[in-house]
Structure 1
Amino acid sequence: MRTAIVVGTGLIGTSVALALSRRGVTVYLDDTDTTAARTAEALGAGSLQLPGKQVDLAVLAVPPGRIGAVLARCQLDDLAHTYTDVASVKARPSDEVASAGGDPSSYIGGHPLAGSERSGPLAARADLFEGRPWVLTPSPRTDRASLNRGLELVSLCGGVPVLMDAAGHDRAVALTSHAPHLISSLMAARLEEAESEHIRVSGQGLRDVTRIAAGEPALWGDILEANAEAVTSVLEAFAADLDRLLSVLRAQRSADAAVRARATGELDRILRRGNRGHARVPHKQRARPDEFVAIPVAIPDQPGALAALFSAVSEAEVNVEDVRIEHSIDQPRGLVELLVDPASVAGVRRVLDANGWSRHEDPHAGHGIRSADRAVGSMTGIRNPDPAR
């Protein structure tokens, strides 16, 4: 694969573009959200210039409900030889390809099982897919060349290809991703009006259970609507388990010792069943480094400043693992912390110095910093990237 275009420059689309660019593929970027697209370009994900000729592969990183229409438009423009997507629902987009006038022979559904509770291009990483399953869902009409390009995409991004039919995929992710997100959201919702003193005594367990509840509601609303039937089936079984657990807990308050004993035994079986289920969850094959070095940079509060900073950093050819921004509305500048692998520190500092950026040594940096996705708007005067892409 020599050329590719990524349509949609959110977390997944930008991560795909970064991974392909790192492997020498010429990548073009397209997004109706020009802010997100410019940010992805500044990160080194690709070029906003239009390709001069048909590219090898188009990756549609748009919500499930838009894939059919976007595919039809791209095919009408003869944009690529092969088309794939990265949506977490596969049956509905596959059905909508034909109804929208698309050609299913050059299309292969795809879903990389990697992501983050954060959204937008600033959360993207070139290594996001390394060692992670990447489902491909060829239909009976998908031609061999499209399947091969889909497999090549997975390989270039470091993923592990898994071939499934679309309906089987949707049942699987309903159990392993979509229902867990809703359960996490319901648990997190219990905290909305909780007493502050109760939240103060929360531990890692609560953070683990509610972490994914931070996902973007607009994106998840689209996903859940597209896979509602399969998710409903999982949650109905979960509700039955929850009813049984409630009965057990009530029985433990019984005055009858025999009833309490039976309840204790049933509770133990429920917990052990959870142990066995947890043991089946595959562990990550590749863990990210536990610690990164924060490089503080003073940045003026003016349009384009953040993009210019990332453009300079991209010259060092290193991956920025995370970004944190501290900014006050009444101040003429803000503080950006670039979190990088320790081995990359010297290269980043050298490029920053060469481009005239002021590295800021602030002992308080990192305290009270908002997430980069939320802070971009106030830093540059532009609206936030659309996290649904």
Structure 2
Amino acid sequence: MRTALVIGTGLVGTSAALALAGRGVHVHLTDNDAASARTAAALGAGTDEPPKDRVDLAVVAVPPAHTASVLAAAMRDGAARGYLDVASVKGGPRRELEALGTDLSSYIGTHPMAGKERSGPLAATADLFEGRPWVLTPTRDTDTEVLNLALELVALCRAVPVVMDADAHDRAVALVSHTPQLVSSMVAARLAEADETAVRLCGQGIRDVTRIAASDPRMWMEILSANPGPVADVLARLAADLDETVRALRGLHSDEEERRRAGAGAIEDVLRRGNAGRVRVPGKHGAAPAVYETVAVLIGDRPGELAAIFADAGRAGVNIEDVRIEHATGQQAGLVQLMVEPSAAAALGAALQERGWSIRG
């Protein structure tokens, strides 16, 4: 691949363009908002000048509601040898293209499983897709050349290709992406109505659950409108669990011993099922999730504190597998939780203490 056209310079489009441009591909950028394309070009994602000749690959990175029409227009113009989209739903755009009578041999639907709470070109990074799954949904009509171009794009973005049926993909993202967004928003909405005293008690758990609730509602309305059926199916099953859990909690509050025992059993069941589901979430590098031990370190709110901890961990020969920061309410301090292999935890704690860090049990 020598040339590419990226249509839509939001977070995903600009990030893909940055990755391609950084690996020597000549990238052309276009967007309905010319200022967005100029911003992406200024960031080094390519040029906002139109291509003079047909490019190798056109990447359509527009909202799902507009994906099919933009693809069809690019195909009519003969803009590229191959065309793909990066919309978060796959079945709908493909059916719309079929209804328009479009020749699908030069097209493949794709979806990189990466994103941020922020949108727009200024949020883009060349490493957004690194190590992340990138779904490809070829059909029997997809040319081998186009599939190879898509695989080359995934490789240049350092993502991991995953081939799926389009409708199976939409059911999958309803479970692992779209429903979590709604549930996170529902929990966060309770905070909007909560007493200030309760809000001040927020810890890492509520921060983890509500992180994605900061996402752009307009963007998510477009995504959910394109995949409402599968999301509703998952939410219906979740609602059944919620109803059962509410009844179980009422039972725990009952004066009847039998109802309390039944309630406790039901609550334990949902917690254990949650354990079983969490274990299936892929861990580092897509492998089975590892069990890490946490070394908690108290740090001050000063520049360079985190860098100093990582440097001291490196001197101790310990690799930090993951990290979380919990800020202390009303204090200029925080608790850094360093996740490491269990065999390294004691050595890291001792090494950090020797260097003057305050370790918390």
Range with bigger deviation, 211-220 or 51-60: 211-220
1:15–1:204 CA distance, 2 compared to 1 (3 A): same
Q: CA deviation at 1:32?
A: 1.0
The aligned residue for residue 229 of structure 2 is 229
The aligned residue for residue 92 of structure 1 is 92
The aligned residue for residue 259 of structure 1 is 259
Please give the alpha-carbon distance, in whole angstroms, between the structure 2 residues aligned to 1:252 and 1:93: 48
Q: CA deviation at 1:266?
A: 2.0
The aligned residue for residue 109 of structure 2 is 109
1:61–1:284 CA distance, 2 compared to 1 (3 A): farther
SS of structure 2 residue aligned to 1:244: helix
Q: 1:5–1:27: 8 Å Cα contact kept in structure 2?
A: yes
Q: CA deviation at 1:174?
A: 0.4
Please give the alpha-carbon distance, in whole angstroms, between the structure 2 residues aligned to 1:163 and 1:42: 34
The aligned residue for residue 323 of structure 2 is none
Please give the alpha-carbon distance, in whole angstroms, between the structure 1 residues aligned to 2:256 and 2:197: 36
Q: Output the amino acid matched with 2:243.
A: D
TM-score, structure 2 as length reference: 0.78
Structure 1, unpaired ranges of 5+: 287-292, 296-341, 343-366, 368-389
Q: Output the amino acid matched with 2:234.
A: V
Count of residue correspondences: 291
Q: Output the amino acid matched with 1:150.
A: A
Q: CA deviation at 1:284?
A: 4.2
The aligned residue for residue 294 of structure 2 is none
Q: Output the amino acid matched with 1:65.
A: A
Q: CA deviation at 1:68?
A: 1.1
Q: Output the amino acid matched with 1:97.
A: L
Q: Write out aligned runs for 1:1-389 (5 A).
A: 1-285=1-285
Q: Output the amino acid matched with 1:170.
A: D
Q: Output the amino acid matched with 1:43.
A: L
Please give the alpha-carbon distance, in whole angstroms, between the structure 2 residues aligned to 1:230 and 1:92: 12
Identity %, equivalent residues: 56
Provide, for residues 205-264 of structure 1, a one-character-per-residue CA deviation record: whole Å limited to 9, x for no partner: 111111111111111111111111111110000000000000110000111123212221
Q: Output the amino acid matched with 1:84.
A: L
Structure 2, unpaired ranges of 5+: 287-301, 305-310, 312-331, 333-361
SS of structure 2 residue aligned to 1:191: helix
Q: CA deviation at 1:98?
A: 2.5
Please give the alpha-carbon distance, in whole angstroms, between the structure 2 residues aligned to 1:43 and 1:112: 21
Q: Output the amino acid matched with 1:9.
A: T
Higher relative contact order (CA 8 A, sep 6+): 1
Q: CA deviation at 1:103?
A: 2.4
Please give the alpha-carbon distance, in whole angstroms, between the structure 1 residues aligned to 2:284 and 2:102: 37
SS of structure 1 residue aligned to 2:58: strand
TM-score, structure 1 as length reference: 0.72
SS of structure 2 residue aligned to 1:96: helix
Q: Output the amino acid matched with 1:76.
A: R
Please give the alpha-carbon distance, in whole angstroms, between the structure 1 residues aligned to 2:257 and 2:198: 32
Q: Output the amino acid matched with 2:204.
A: Q
Please give the alpha-carbon distance, in whole angstroms, between the structure 2 residues aligned to 1:28 and 1:59: 10
Please give the alpha-carbon distance, in whole angstroms, between the structure 2 residues aligned to 1:280 and 1:23: 34
SS of structure 2 residue aligned to 1:127: coil
Q: 1:67–1:97: 8 Å Cα contact kept in structure 2?
A: no
1:284–1:63 CA distance, 2 compared to 1 (3 A): farther
Please give the alpha-carbon distance, in whole angstroms, between the structure 1 residues aligned to 2:6 and 2:33: 13
Please give the alpha-carbon distance, in whole angstroms, between the structure 2 residues aligned to 1:23 and 1:187: 42
SS of structure 2 residue aligned to 1:285: helix
